[in-house]
Amino acid sequence: MKKLAIDYSEIQKAMEDLQREAFEYFLDTETGRVVILSVDIMKRAQDILEEFYDDDMYDYDEVEFDEIIEMPDWMEEEIELALRVLLLDRHRFVRIPEREQGNGYAAMKEFTQNLRHTDLKQQLITILNGKGAFRRFKDALDPYPKERKLWYGFNALANRKNIEQWLMGLGIKPELEKE
């Protein structure tokens, strides 16, 4: 099992972006760094690959295209990184998955079951049995700063366990968190 320093908070942020409308997130399995690429850059890189990529390029360490591709200077580094993620180093960069909603619901349910504040506990039980539980759960905690703080700590610990399981599935044993 490979040991790697991991920034749990960055991976958690990536996993909590459920829609992925603006960004894609990848874990660099050599450095532990989270690579964030805009969806637009990824689309541009995929378009370049579709237009200029030959199947025999897969066997090379570097890819040189037959034509010079016109793009703004500011975009060039991002496109090169996206091409590495998609083609050259695709085994090095692993897409960070979205957090499974079932995990979030299970965490809310467990937190609620262990809550000592009886009025809030009953309110949260009712919320968890209804539609739109995620938003309503957080809204219900707003007037209770102590319990809200407890929830965020509990949720972060639950997320950390899920992240560790995901990493272990990749053959990575997480070490101390990066600063």
Give the model confidence (pLDDT) of 124-161 as tens digits: 999 999 888 889 999 999 999 999 999 999 999 999 99
Same domain flag for 87 and 146: no
Number of domains the chain contains: 2
Return the structure tokens found at 53.
């990529």
Give the pLDDT confidence score for residue 3 in this predicted structure: 94
Across the chain, mean pLDDT equals 87
Same domain flag for 138 and 164: yes
Task: Give mean pLDDT, residues 3-30.
Answer: 93
Q: Considering 78, 95, 112, which residue would you say is the last residue of a domain?
A: 95
Same domain flag for 151 and 107: yes
Give the pLDDT confidence score for residue 177 in this predicted structure: 60
> What whole-number distance in Å separates Cα of residue 50 and Cα of residue 28?
24
Same domain flag for 130 and 69: no
- Compare 58 and 77 and report the one with higher pLDDT: 77
Q: What is the pTM of this model?
A: 0.77
Helix (H) or strand (E) holding 146: helix 145-169
Helix, strand, coil percentages, rounded to 5, for the chain: 55, 10, 30
Residue 32, domain extent? 19-95
> How does 69-89 read in b/e, with b if 16+ C-beta sit within 10 Å?
eeeeeeeeebbebbbbbbbbb
Same domain flag for 109 and 156: yes
> What whole-number distance in Å separates Cα of residue 48 and Cα of residue 58?
15
Q: Considering 95, 112, 140, which residue would you say is the last residue of a domain?
A: 95
Q: Considering 44, 77, 95, which residue would you say is the last residue of a domain?
A: 95
